[in-house]
Amino acid sequence: MANVAVIGAQWGDEGKGKVVDWLASRADVVVRFQGGHNAGHTLVVGNETYKLSLLPSGLVREKLGIIGNGVVIDPEALLAEIDKVTAQGLRVSPATLRIAENAALILPFHGALDRAREAARGDQKIGTTGRGIGPAYEDKVARRAIRVADLAEPETLSLKLDELLRHHNTLLASLGAETFDKAVLLAWLLALAPRILPYAEPLWIRLDELRRAGKRILFEGAQAVMLDVDHGTYPYVTSSNTVAATAASGAGMGPGAIGFVLGIAKSYSTRVGSGPFPTELHDATGQLLGDRGNEYGTNTGRRRRCGWFDAVLVRQAVKVAGINGLALTKLDVLDGLSELKVCTGYRIDGALHHHLPAAPRAQEAASPEYEVLEGWKGSTRGARSWGELPAQAIKYVRRIEELVEAPVTLLSTSPERDDTILVRDPFEG
């Protein structure tokens, strides 16, 4: 049996929560390997809706959940999320949740700096959630981060806070923002330590044991390839690598452990926040897609920008992230449209391009070249087999497969967990 890594193949919000939940029921352990609490998965189980930010989705299915070293953790947000889902009936304890002892922490000044920078950018805002994820990753690579294991060493915390506050208070003061007091932060961290440390361990040991025992491991990614800090629409990206290769480094395993890479893509395109979006629609069709798709961010509440399916970007994601198969979601949102458009290239200064250039101005100037496809009159909502789909819907899916050069492995036809057409079992490799 293969392990499976699930990543977004567009700009995030592709419906990973449902797919991960569907796969988690068949996995033994679910690992979050990058990102922070700006990412969010919504899982609908029966009459209960769970909105998760840091907690691995497998906890909903009573599977072991692991937060890997590639994640940056806001300890207060994590504890609040644990309290919230516990009140909903989930069991979250050190027996069901483990956290990498070498994961870096998000501290209050990270969020303050994030928000102050965005305010200073004015019209050039990146569109961050202001939760401190980027500044926390900056501290990690600058080798001054406080990590989970440090919570057990008050002297280490004190020394690291000295260095961190010299850096962050200087930046905050230059931006006209409030600075932070060391004594207050130290007391806060020491108070949190007894609640966080019971979850911590050197996870690479446990994961190696699970792999050797033949357990099924599901790697759960946050955001998506087009928000990858290297391969996305920089600088309008997240602060971590979101491609499948990060599942190994972000969990503490070798690259051979990843297994099948499943990319999640909507049957159309959406994006939250700023940045280039070549196929964005500002007309009634864009409004219709947003309304039908309930396009609001799980954590941000911001309405997503909507547009036609961009085969150029998804093909790019397939190549750079090593995607073996796609899970195509929200096909039912397209029901009843007389025609559909798929982007097959971009015009930039008159020249045709079949990839999105890295330069920001070229990205903004990209004008989509469309292939027009016939829509369908019947309904795809709730379909659980190919035989229940209208013929034109099948043709649409098949054409997407050709254009992105990857097979559709799963097809989702509603938010309900079981409204899924399985073409190939990712766990079978």
State which residues of the chain have pLDDT below 70.
1, 39-40, 297-302
Q: Are residues 126 and 232 in the same domain?
A: no
Burial class (CB in 10 A: 0-12, 13-18, 19+), 418: exposed
Q: Which residues pair with 108 in a beta bridge?
A: none
Q: Are residues 292 and 416 in the same domain?
A: yes
13 is an active site residue: yes
Q: Are residues 59 and 178 in the same domain?
A: no
Residues of the domain holding 118:
108-196
Q: Are residues 72 and 173 in the same domain?
A: no
Domain limit, last residue, from 235, 260, 285: 260
Q: Are residues 255 and 344 in the same domain?
A: no
Count of structural domains within the chain: 3
Q: Are residues 414 and 357 in the same domain?
A: yes
Cβ atoms of 106 and 73 within 8 Å: the answer is: yes
Q: Are residues 274 and 378 in the same domain?
A: yes
Nearest to residue 206, comparing CAs of 101, 278, 291? 101
Cβ atoms of 203 and 71 within 8 Å: the answer is: no
Q: Are residues 145 and 221 in the same domain?
A: no
- Which CATH number is 157's domain given? 1.10.300.10
- Cα first-last separation, the chain: 7
283 is an active site residue: no
- Which CATH number is 207's domain given? 3.40.440.10
Note the pTM of the prediction, 2 decimals.
Answer: 0.92
Cβ atoms of 405 and 315 within 8 Å: the answer is: yes
State the pairing for strand pair 41-45/260-266: unpaired
pLDDT of residue 53: 87
Identify whether 235 is preceded by a cis peptide bond (ω within 30 of 0): yes
Annotated catalytic residue: which of 37, 41, 110, 168? 41
pLDDT of residue 222: 87
Domain limit, last residue, from 233, 260, 287: 260
C-alpha to C-alpha distance for 348 and 350, rounded to whole angstroms? 5
pLDDT tens digits, 41-79: 777 777 778 888 899 988 888 899 999 999 999 999 999
Annotated catalytic residue: which of 13, 21, 310, 332? 13
Count of alpha carbons within 13 Å of 270, Cβ hemisphere only?
30
> What three-state secondary structure class fits 367?
strand
Q: Are residues 95 and 216 in the same domain?
A: yes
Q: Are residues 222 and 73 in the same domain?
A: yes
Nearest to residue 260, comparing CAs of 217, 292, 309? 217
Domain limit, last residue, from 166, 196, 226: 196
- Which CATH number is 409's domain given? 3.90.170.10
Q: Are residues 294 and 404 in the same domain?
A: yes
Q: Are residues 179 and 289 in the same domain?
A: no
Cβ atoms of 403 and 373 within 8 Å: the answer is: no
C-alpha to C-alpha distance for 281 and 261, rounded to whole angstroms? 30
